[in-house]
Each structure stands twice: as C-alpha cells, then as structure tokens.
Chains A and B, each alone.
Chain A
Amino acid sequence: MEIKVLGPGCQRCHKTEEIVREAVAEAGVDAQIEKISDAMKIAGYGGFGTPAVVIDGEVKSVGKIPRKEEVTGWIKS
C-alpha cells in the first residue's frame, strides 16, 4: 500500500508523518510512506489544507493531524 503525507515543511506536517509511521510500524503492514511537500503536487490531489493523508490514491484526512487510531483504522481496512 502507498501512503502519502501531503504538506510543506511545517511542524504539523512532520507530526502527521510521525504518527503515520508509528501507526504503520505498530500495525505491521507493508506500506511505502512518502512525504510530498511540493505545492503544485499537493494541489494535484485536490487537498485544500495541509497536512493531508492519501492512502492508495484516496484522500483520507485534510487539514488536521490525524489520531493514531484513525490511521490504524485506514490502513487495516
């Protein structure tokens, strides 16, 4: 599975990436995590507001730091 964390270099975006990595490690699933910080690329996903999380092309959360349980829910389903 492909997980993308969208967001320029703000603190909230780093925190989101951290949470996603933790959730993936704990769930033990095989996933590639990529951080995307390029403005036009972020716009390309249609996400208004950062940080955003995209899993396998589907926008899961926008404009907030997700809770770890939420992320675990997305990657397990």
Chain B
Amino acid sequence: MDGDVDDHLRSIEGDIRKAMGMKERTKLLLIAGVFLAAYYIPWDHALIRQSGFEAFMMLQEYAREHVLTCLIPAFFIAGAIAVFVSQGAILKYFGAQASKILSYSVASVSGSILAVCSCTVLPLFAGIYTRGAGIGPATAFLYSGPAINILAITLTAKVLGWQMGLARAIGAVVFAVITGLLMALIFRKDDAARTTGQIYVPDADHGKRTLLQDGLYLLVMVLILIFASFARPAAGASGFWPMIFAYKWYITAAFLAVLAFMVKAWFRKDERVAWVESTWGFMKQIFPLLIAGVLVAGFLLGRPGHPALVPEHYVQSLLGGNSLWANLFASVAGALMYFATLTEIPILQGLLGSGMGKGPALALLLAGPALSLPNMLVIGSVMGVKKTATFCGIIIIMSTIAGLLYGSFAG
C-alpha cells in the first residue's frame, strides 16, 4: 500500500518536472516575441503613438489615484494577515477528521486569510487533497485562494466601483463552496479510496495578544484603507458623506495614530520586523507585474473614452451587452488567460471603457484569477486530467451564469 502511494507520488513528481521544463521554452518564445514586436511594429504610426500615450496616461492615473491611498494600505494589511493570523487555527479545519461543513466554510473564505501568495496555494491544495479533508474542500480552497484575496477585492472596488468589488467577493465565496461540493459529489468514489495519513499543522503561536486585540488591529487598518481612499461624493450632495469626505485626512491621521500606538504596545520587535518584511515582500512581488499590466492594458485598450490600439467596436461586438455568448466568451477567455496578481483589474478597466458589458466583466473576474492555462497543467499533474477538466468546466459555467445575472441587474 505504501509502495503504491510512493510510486504514485513519484509519477506525479515527474509530471510537475515536465511542466516546469516547459517554462524554459516559454521564456524563449517570450523573448522571440518581444524581438519580433520590436522589429516589425511601425512605432511612428499615429495609432501606435496614441496607444503608447494611453499606456503612460493610464499608468499615471494609477500612480495618482490608487497607489498611495489604496494599494499601500492594502499591502500592509496583507502583510499583517500573512504574519499574525495563526495558520494552525485555520488549517486544522482541513484535516481528514474535520467536520465537513466547517471544512467547506473555512475553505471558501480562507483565501483572504491564508494565501495572498499563489505559491503557498499549491502545496496546501496537494496536502488537503491527498491527506486531509479530500477533494471537495481542496478544490474549494484552490478556487478561493487566488480569487478572494484582500488586495484584489480592494483594488477592484476602488477602480471598478464598489458594486463590482462586492459582486466579486460574494461570487468568489459562493463559487468556492459550490465548486467544492460538486467536485466531491462527482468524484465521491475516488475520494473514498484516498489514503489518509498523519498530518502536521502549524502550532498556534499567538504571542501575548488576545483575539480581540488581533481583530482590533486589523479593523483599524481596514478603516485607514476605507477613509484614505474615500471617494469624492457626487457634486451637490449634502449631509453625511460630503462631511466625511471633507474630514477624511483628519480621520485617517487619527486612525494612524491609534495604529501606531497598537503596534508599539502590543507587538514584540521581531513581530514588527516580520510585518514590515512580509509587506515589502508582497510589494516587491506585485508592483512590477501591476505596472506591466497597466501599461499593456493602456496600450491595447486605452483609458475609458480614449481609443487605443484595439478598435472599440471589436470589444463591443465580442463582449458588449449581456448576451449568453458575451458572458461565455469572457469566462472562457478569463479561464485560459494568465493574469498576474491584480493585473486583471487594469485590463478590465480598459475593456469596460471600450464597451464591455458589466456582466461579462464579472464573468471574467470570477473565472480569470483562479484559472489559467499554466495553472491547469500543474493542477492536472496533482489530480489528473478528468478532475481538472471538470473543475474548470464548473467554474466556466458558473461564471457565465453569474455574469448573466449581474449584467441583468447592473445593466
């Protein structure tokens, strides 16, 4: 029995190696592509110049509107979550003996807590699948991991409007549960034959803070984020919101002072260092990709109301309105395409500005970050082609339906 498992693991390992080997070839293709583009693109053509201008205008819009007030606080929150939230307390709900209801509920929201970094999702997924709670919670976790992270939801709400941010957050949680349940139902026989073994979860190292203190600390950071990025109310509005807007920097400063006090009084020095280190880690990892994503989105699609390389009528005919076809196309395209963390947002902003419907936009947001072609290859090497295909199919179908629903409400 043990030998079988070892053989199985070894063959899977070989598959992963093959998938990694393809990376080198991808790099070569990428370099060749860049060279050919540099060689052949007519850079002095008016349309290309206009597109290049749009790319940098969009980058400036992000730098001016979104970086200081939204991204930086969100990075600090993500860093704090990664360091201070006890993984052990969460991961014990993924053990083989854990209650199923708890497994699914924890899996569906754990993305926001456990893994902002996609590199931790895969080992955990493999662990939950082979040794822990089984295929249902494992796939729920696999979907929710990249889909519900605090950075993505915040920036979606900031750039594309709070309605889209909320729809994305709710959609992602609901999808995680349904996907997990469907996978467990479809493959219940395989799941019964799974081996379970000893598992080790991280020990809860909570320091001397209480849960209340941890909660308050995160709450204060979320409040800083909300007030710092508080949107200007519509002109002529009166009452509560304009008043908050007028005082937002005083309120933000007050919360910053509270935060400074908490950090000083409640945390050890090494904890503070760990917090800053992990925040810096996220920034290093994500900013370069986001800059590239914004430039590409601006170059191809332009800011809303400004045409760029891709003619607007193409976008309108493929992704405009709220037809079944437009939603399905958005889901499939999103599922195949690889979006580096957060880059889906500028790309969608460009597409929406060029005439994409709101329904298809949500469909792409729900199918996009969780799935991509390279990702499918790696998932396939862990749980096999049939299960991977089912997993992707479920997500594409549900994203299409969610897009249709949202599109009919939001217009």
Contacts of A39 in B (CB 8 A): 16, 122-123, 125-126, 378, 382
Contacts of A9 in B (CB 8 A): 119
Indicate if the CB atoms of B202 and A59 lie closer than 8 Å. no
Q: Quick check: is A74 within 8 A (CB to CB) of the other chain?
A: no
Contacts of B120 in A (CB 8 A): 8, 10, 49-50
Interface code B172-204, partner A: CB below 8 Å = 1, 0 otherwise?
A: 000000000000000000000000011111110
* Chain B at the A interface: SS class: helix
Indicate if the CB atoms of A44 and B9 lie closer than 8 Å. yes
Q: How near does chain B come to A50, taking the closest CB pair, in angstroms?
A: 6
Indicate if the CB atoms of A43 and B123 lie closer than 8 Å. yes
Q: How near does chain A come to B122, taking the closest CB pair, in angstroms?
A: 4
Which listed residue (A6, A40, A42, A63) contacts B202, Cβ 8 A? Answer: A63
A52 to B201, CA, bound (A): 10
Which listed residue (B13, B123, B277) contacts A50, Cβ 8 A? Answer: B123
Which listed residue (A48, A50, A64) contacts B205, Cβ 8 A? Answer: A64
Q: How near does chain B come to A31, taking the closest CB pair, in angstroms?
A: 21
Q: How near does chain A come to B281, taking the closest CB pair, in angstroms?
A: 5
A17 to B373, CA, bound (A): 31
Q: Which residue of B lies closest to A6 (CB)?
A: B123
Q: Quick check: is A38 within 8 A (CB to CB) of the other chain?
A: yes
Knowing A47-B127, A48-B94, A49-B124, the reply to whether A40 touches B201 (Cβ < 8 A) is no
Interface code B224-246, partner A: CB below 8 Å = 1, 0 otherwise?
A: 00000000000000000000000
**Residue picked from A11, A38, A41, A43, most chain B C-beta under 10 Å:** A43
A40 to B129, CA, bound (A): 10
Q: 14 A-B pairs, CB-CB below 8 angstroms?
A: A8-B122, A38-B13, A39-B16, A39-B126, A40-B13, A40-B126, A41-B9, A43-B129, A46-B197, A48-B91, A48-B199, A49-B87, A62-B200, A63-B201
Instruction: List 16 other contacts, CB 8 Å, given A39-B126, A42-B123, A44-B130.
Output: A8-B122, A10-B117, A41-B9, A43-B130, A46-B131, A46-B199, A47-B199, A48-B95, A48-B132, A48-B200, A49-B202, A59-B200, A62-B88, A62-B200, A63-B201, A64-B205
